[in-house]
């Protein structure tokens, strides 16, 4: 936790460093308003926002930290400007595993836990073919990434 707060300070997201963390004691964080200025943000600067209930879910033991990370990750890859594409479709084995610093076997475990809690749904895409062949006479296969959808109504109920 302290290392994460130090990183936020180094990146100028919080104004003052958090020098001491005591168990079960609150601490004050002062956010840098300029970093969170939606009106004047630079191209490519986006923030994934979910209801505060996700944080309360961690506090109350309804969610693990890994599940919360996955929820925010999925949210960060949803194209908010296109209402037809309200899903995340990154690859677990490459992108998710690398960006979340989680193992390829860990991600399916926690995504399944989120599915069981009805916080996300997944449209799985299997290996398929249109029975077309390439120049070498080999059958062409297609495999689309799974689509991950957030269930906002259930997230709000955490």
Distance of CA 124 to the CA centre of its chain: 18
Q: What is the pTM of this model?
A: 0.68
Indicate whether 93 and 150 sit together in one domain.
yes
Which residues span the domain enclosing 3?
1-45
Degrees, nearest 5: CA angle 15-17-18:
125
Domain count along the chain: 2
More confident residue, 65 or 126: 65
Indicate whether 40 and 55 sit together in one domain.
no
Residues 71-105: pLDDT tens digits?
999 998 887 777 777 888 777 667 888 888 888 89
Indicate whether 17 and 91 sit together in one domain.
no
Which CATH number do you get for residue 98?
1.10.10
Indicate whether 82 and 152 sit together in one domain.
yes
- Mean pLDDT along residues 41-65: 82
Cα gap 64→116, rounded to integer Å: 14
> 47-68 burial string, b = 16+ CB within 10 Å, else e?
eeebeebbeebeeeeebeebbb
Cα gap 144→147, rounded to integer Å: 9
Indicate whether 31 and 77 sit together in one domain.
no
């Amino acid at each position: 936790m302290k290392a994460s707060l130090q990183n936020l300070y180094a990146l100028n997201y919080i104004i003052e460093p958090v020098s001491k963390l005591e168990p079960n004691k609150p601490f004050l964080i002062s956010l840098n308003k300029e970093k969170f200025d939606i009106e004047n943000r630079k191209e490519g600067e986006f923030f994934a926002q979910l209801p505060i209930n996700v944080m309360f879910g961690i506090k109350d033991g309804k969610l693990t930290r890994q599940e919360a990370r996955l929820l925010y990750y999925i949210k960060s890859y949803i194209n908010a400007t296109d209402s037809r594409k309200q899903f995340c479709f990154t690859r677990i084995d490459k992108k998710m595993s690398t960006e979340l610093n989680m193992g390829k076997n860990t991600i399916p475990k926690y995504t399944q836990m989120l599915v069981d809690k009805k916080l996300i749904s997944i449209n799985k895409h299997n290996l398929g073919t249109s029975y077309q062949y390439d120049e070498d006479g080999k059958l062409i296969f297609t495999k689309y990434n799974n689509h991950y959808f957030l269930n906002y109504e259930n997230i709000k109920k955490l």
